[in-house]
Amino acid sequence: MGDDSQENRRNIKEDNFTKVKKWLNITIGIVISAAFIYLAFRRVHLREILYSLKHINYFWLIPNSLIVILTMVFRAERWKYLLKSVNNYKASTLFPSVMIGFMANNILPVRLGEFLRAYSLGAKTGESRSSIFATIVIERIFDSLALLLMFWLVIMFVPFPPIVKQFGIFTAVVNGIAILFLVILKQKNVALVNWLTRLFSFLPNKLIEKAEHILLKFVDGLKTFDHIKILGIVTLWSLILWIVTALSNYFIFMAFGIYPGFVASFILLLFVAAGVMLPSAPGFIGVYQAAIIGAFGMMNQIGIIGYQASQTRLEMTAISLPAFANMPLVGVSYLLDSAGAFGISKGESLSFSLVLWLCQYLPVTLLGLYYLRREHISLKHMNFEK
């Protein structure tokens, strides 16, 4: 009786710790998003944003939104190969789960979409959720590696500051460590599980057994590393996916009447990819906008875009001029930025970020919610015990 009571207390303590950790992660994400929202809107006037949004060519948002859905089809096709170590699936079977997962990342905290994608497919097929989740982890590594390759190719043509190159090196090291860990986990899974069991022996036996079962199922999903041909196909799909994504950004440039070289689309993608790595509120709000503003700031600095006069831009400058009438001399730099003297102003960059974010957020969220309802998935009853 005493042992059962002690184990119950341990279970309650573990549940409380999990809840505190969950809310801590949510709080950190919201605080970071709020900070970046403040930085993004600081020194930007609402009238300038509204004027910019009123005068863009909304026709070009249609092909961008369609390509967003097309890239989800690409993701389903790529995932098909990663899942061959688990079972053979058609891309059409996987597409709803892909949409549900990305939709969940847009509306739920702490990127729960990755778990929901695995749960969705597991509930539909009867396969282990943990094995499926392992393939999603591998997928994320391939995404990161494809973006890194694009980054180093862009560096050949763009004189990025040293700090940007250092970030690229840091990301490459992190990916290398992650791949090494997964390979070791696959090769030495029994020894590693035994070591972890001894390390956490103070936890309740039921919890240890559950974690051991999940970890071993997770390892089953890592068998993709045994197939060089499949890894090659996944690499090719990853490159296609991100190249198409980058090029689709050019439609938003066109919507705003901006026509830089295509390298600008890749710079924009790389900054956004780096920004959304940070903890944030659902939908990457704040960090997404700040990343695009940072991308335009960088492109202005290195002369990728340059000043491109247009009627809309001149009228936007006229709107913002009165706000700087009584500013001290230090405000001259803000006036020059608002006028777009350095390239694209912060106000126009923010407008750009809002439009691009909506083009990616709305199609994925709406289609994901449709599939969530069609497949009758309950978020309350998700579990990874299988």
Mean pLDDT of the chain: 82
Q: What are the tens digits of pLDDT across the range 162-210?
A: 887 888 888 888 888 888 888 888 787 777 777 777 777 666 667 667 7
Q: What is the pLDDT of residue 75?
A: 97
* Maximum mean pLDDT: which of 295-299, 339-343, 363-367: 363-367
The residue-averaged pLDDT of 356-369 equals 96
Q: Is residue 373 part of a domain?
A: yes
Give the confidence band of 360 by pLDDT, cuts at 50, 70, 90. very high
**Between 308 and 268, residue with greater pLDDT:** 268
Rounded distance, CA 292 to CA 349, Å? 7
Q: What is the pLDDT of residue 336?
A: 46
**Between 220 and 371, residue with greater pLDDT:** 371
Q: Is residue 261 part of a domain?
A: yes
Residue whose entry in the numeric block shows the structure tokens 């997964």 = 182
Q: What is the pLDDT of residue 329?
A: 46
Instruction: Render 295-360 in DSSP notation, one character per residue.
Output: HHHHHHHHTSS-----HHHHHHHHHHGGGGTT--GGGHHHHHHHTTTTSS-HHHHHHHHHHHHHHH
Q: What are the tens digits of pLDDT across the range 229-288?
A: 998 999 999 999 999 999 999 999 999 988 888 999 999 999 999 999 888 889 999 999
Q: What is the pLDDT of residue 128?
A: 87
Q: Which of 178, 99, 151, 96 is nearest to 273 (CA)?
A: 151
Q: What is the pLDDT of residue 8?
A: 58
Q: What number of helices (H) and strands (E) belong to the chain?
A: 16, 0
Q: 349-381 burial, b for 16+ CB within 10 Å, e for fewer?
A: bbbbbbbbbebbbebbbebbbebbeeeebeeee
Rounded distance, CA 284 to CA 292, Å? 12
Rounded distance, CA 78 to CA 234, Å? 6
Q: Which of 170, 210, 171, 168 is nearest to 193 (CA)?
A: 210
Q: Is residue 229 part of a domain?
A: yes
Which residue type does 208 have? Answer: I
Q: Which of 292, 307, 323 is nearest to 47 (CA)?
A: 323
Total number of domains in the chain: 1
Q: Is residue 386 part of a domain?
A: no
Q: Is residue 216 part of a domain?
A: yes
Q: Can you read off the two tokens belonging to residue 74?
A: 């690409």
Instruction: Render 83-141 in DSSP notation, one character per residue.
Output: GGGT----HHHHHHHHHHHHHHHHHSSTTTHHHHHHHHHHHHH---HHHHHHHHHHHHH
Q: Is residue 15 part of a domain?
A: yes
Q: Which of 287, 291, 255 is nearest to 270 (CA)?
A: 291
Portion of the chain with pLDDT greater than 70, in percent: 79
Q: Which of 287, 246, 74, 234 is nearest to 154 (CA)?
A: 246
Q: Is residue 202 part of a domain?
A: yes
Q: What is the pLDDT of residue 236?
A: 95
For the cut 80, the answer to whether the pLDDT of residue 324 exceeds it is no
Q: What are the tens digits of pLDDT across the range 37-75?
A: 998 888 787 888 888 888 899 999 999 999 999 999 999
Q: At what angle do helices 61-82 and 91-107 cross, to 10 degrees?
A: 120
8 Å CB contact between 58 and 255:
yes
- CA 110 and chain centroid, separation: 11
Q: Which residues contact 23 (CB under 8 A, 6 or more apart)?
A: none
For the cut 70, the answer to whether the pLDDT of residue 88 exceeds it is yes
User: How far from 132 is each of 81, 222, 317, CA to CA, in Å?
Assistant: 12, 9, 52
**Between 354 and 112, residue with greater pLDDT:** 354
Q: What is the pLDDT of residue 178?
A: 86
The residue-averaged pLDDT of 203-229 equals 74
Q: Which of 307, 338, 297, 344 is nearest to 320 (CA)?
A: 338
Q: Domain range holding 231?
A: 2-381
